[in-house]
Amino acid sequence: MAMNGRRGYRSGLVNLEVGEISREIFVNEDIYAEEQERIFARAWLHVGHESQIPKPGDYFVSSMGEESVILCRDRAGRIHVFLNSCRHRGMKVCRYDEGSTTVFTCPYHGWSYGTDGRLVGVPYFREAYHSRLDKEKWGLVEVAQLCNYKGSIWATWDAAAPTLSEYLGDFTRFLDLQLDGWDGREGQAEVLGGIQKWLVPCNWKFPAENFSGDTYHNISHRSVDLAGIGPSGAGRRDMGERDASRKLHVCIPDRGHQTILYVLPAGRLPPPAYMNAPIVAEYFRHCEEERRRRRGDESRLIGAPGEIFPNTALLSRQPRTMAAWHPRGPHQTECWRWFFVDRDAPNEVKQFLRDYYIRYSGPAGMTEQDDMENWNYAHAASRGTIARRHPYNYDQGRGTAVADYEYQGLRVPGEVIDLTEVQSSEQPMRNFYRRWAEFMEADDWSQLATWRSGERKAAE
């Protein structure tokens, strides 16, 4: 089904008015190819964290969409993100995962680049090139924009994209929940060594929409809840806030970012957690008090799964992790996971969290295994001719979001559905795919930055 020159994702394949989305967008090769141009070449993507490259010369090889990139710190201490490909004939200039270097040299013909990306070494420059090659023009391809937000490194290839701050908009505070300290100090997170990387045979949008806030899929995780790996000995995580809080879906409509969120009543601290480790429980309790002291009413917000468009997943609590869903063809995703702790947390706390993260997350963790089984076979069952004729249903809670949500004096931005009684909605998915369709249709960022002209996306 050729998509060339055909627009109308919103009128056809992504029909939010009735809550139906075509399976084609998950399995179609042409749509996938368009996504690489229209989404991954234009959006802000998460690349890594500054704690992975603490010293000049340090590097970490990452991925932006399909493409290998090098995240590095140059001699002057500045952070860069480069396309991992020699300008001469394309060979990867770095096939190590991480390390420290003064140059990136291509093993094919020997072109050599400094950690600032400049082309510094060209064999036989005088003899074969007659000193005529303009080295300034042939440095490593660098991203158009890079932003270090509280230690997390983001990049985009599109010079016309808004700043990261504008790109995030009202979602910024949810990224803050991820990166700020448990005690409310700004930007205290560091990444634990060891980035998990694994392949799943499904389209990248399966995990992306799951982390957008799938509140409906607890049955996937029933077995791990029964096994009881939670840090207080039951379930898969401490859910004490559930009994006390309002549970929300929060969607930032113009941006395509969304999250589950818990909001405590005014004056309430989060219930106890981490009861299997008294040292951690006490540390957590102390941090929550500090957080309330520093942040006041804001401390009533408790993070939960969320997604920054297009493919960065957040979870600020239990386990504390960010993921990137790298497209590897329409039928495969390479998942990368970073795990966070507060950098000055006591060792016992870091150890306990590490142990918990390992048994919870990733392909060897007891929770995500079941998600991936579902994504795998959902995708597989959607590839056939007949299957593709039948759209997925995204009808849940349609038309029930409000734009002015407030709970006991705390305003929550965006379009919100209060799930406390209704249990679940699919508003985050609708928000995600609305933005997806916009990216697929828009010619450039002037059409995507709809908030600048004062347009507000109405809740359906």
Partner 1 sequence: MAERDARIDRLLLGQEIADFLYREAELLDERRYREWLDLLADDIRYWMPMRRNVKFGEDEREFTRADSDINWFDEGKDTLVRRVKQIETGIHWAEEPRSRLSHLVANVQLQGAEPSFAAAQQVSVTSRFLIYRNRVQTETDILVGRREDSLRRNGAGWLLARRKIILDQNVLLTKNLTFFI
Partner 2 sequence: MSAPINVRDLVPGTSVVLADGAVAEIVSNPGDGMWLFARYLTSPSDPTLVGQEEMIFAPDVVALGRSAAV
Strands (E), 253-368: 257-263, 301-308, 312-315, 321-327, 333-342
Whole-angstrom Cα distance, residue 411 to residue 297?
10
CB of 120 to partner 2, least distance (A): 7
Residue type, 317: R
Instruction: Compare residues 105 and 374 and give the one whose CB is closer to partner 2.
Output: 105
| Both structure tokens of 116 | 């600032």
Q: Any idea which residue has 């090889």 for tokens?
A: 61
Interatomic CA distance for residues 94 and 99, integer angstroms: 10
Q: Which is nearer to partner 1, 156 or 178 (CB)?
A: 178
Per-residue x/- marks for partner 2, 262-301, CB under 8 A?
A: ----------------------------------------
CA-CA distance, 157 to 159, in Å (whole number)? 6
The answer to whether 311 contacts partner 1 (rule: CB under 8 A) is no
The H or E element containing residue 248 is: strand 246-252
* Look-up of token digits 């004096």: 409
- Size of the chain in residues: 460
Choose the stretch contacting partner 1; rule: CB under 8 A; options: 42-50, 113-121, 215-223, 247-255. 215-223
Q: How many residues bind partner 2 (CB under 8 A)?
A: 11
Tokens of 7: 């627009």
326 vs 430, beta carbon nearer partner 1: 326
Answer with the entry of partner 1, partner 2, none that 187 interacts with (C-beta below 5 to 8 A by kind): none
Q: Which does 112 bind (CB under 5 to 8 A by kind): partner 1, partner 2, none?
A: partner 2
The CA distance from 80 to 395, in Å, is 43
In the complex with partner 1, which residue's Cβ is closer, 37 or 373? 373
Using CB under 8 A, which of 359, 383, 388, 398 touches partner 1?
359
Site for partner 2 in 69-128 (CB under 8 A): 101-103, 105, 107, 110, 112, 120-121, 123-124
Nearer to partner 2, 105 or 376 (CB): 105
Site track 75-104 with partner 1 (rule: CB under 8 A), x = hit: --------------------xxxxx-----
Contact partners, residue 370, CB within 8 Å, separation at least 6? 220, 221, 223, 224
Ramachandran region of residue 423, left (φ > 0), alpha (ψ -120 to 50) or beta? left
As measured in angstroms, the least distance from the Cβ of 89 to partner 2 is 15
Question: In the complex, what is the shortest distance from the CB of residue 105 to partner 2, in angstroms, rounded to a whole number?
Answer: 4
Cβ proximity to partner 2, 121 vs 235, nearer residue:
121
* Nearer to partner 2 among residue 124 and residue 377 (C-beta): 124
* Maximum CA extent, the chain: 76
Q: Which of 357, 392, 394, 439 binds partner 1 (CB under 8 A)?
A: 357
Ordered alpha helix ranges (H), 310-426:
347-360, 368-380, 419-422
Q: How many CB atoms lie within 10 A of CB 436?
A: 25
Would you tell me how many other CB atoms lie within 10 Å of the CB of residue 343? Answer: 14
- Interactions with partner 1, residue window 376-435 (CB under 8 A): 376-377
8 Å CB contact between 80 and 38 = no
Residue 387, token pair as written in the block: 């299957």
Query: Token pair for residue 168?
Result: 């995030």
In the list 366, 378, 422, 442, the residue contacting partner 1 (rule: CB under 8 A) is 366
Burial 34-47 (b: 16+ CB within 10 A, else e): bbeebbbbbbbbbb
- 68 or 450, CB closer to partner 1? 68
Residue 442's binding partner among partner 1, partner 2, none (Cβ under 5 to 8 angstroms by kind) is none
User: Residue with structure tokens 């929300």?
Assistant: 248
279 binds partner 1 (CB under 8 A): no
How many CB atoms sit inside 10 A of residue 453's CB?
Answer: 7
Binding string, residues 217-236; x marks residues near partner 1 by CB under 8 A: ---x-xxx-xxxx-------
Is 296 one of the binding residues for partner 1 (CB under 8 A)? no
Binding partner at 120 among partner 2, partner 1, none, C-beta below 5 to 8 Å by kind: partner 2
Q: Give the Cβ contact number of residue 381 at 10 Å.
A: 10
- CA separation for the pair 229, 69 (Å, rounded): 36
From 81, 146, 153, 200, residue interacting with partner 1 (rule: CB under 8 A): 200
Q: Which residues bind partner 1 (CB under 8 A)?
A: 95-99, 192-201, 220, 222-224, 226-229, 334, 339, 350-351, 354-355, 357-359, 362-364, 366, 368-370, 372-374, 376-377
Q: Which residues bind partner 2 (CB under 8 A)?
A: 101-103, 105, 107, 110, 112, 120-121, 123-124
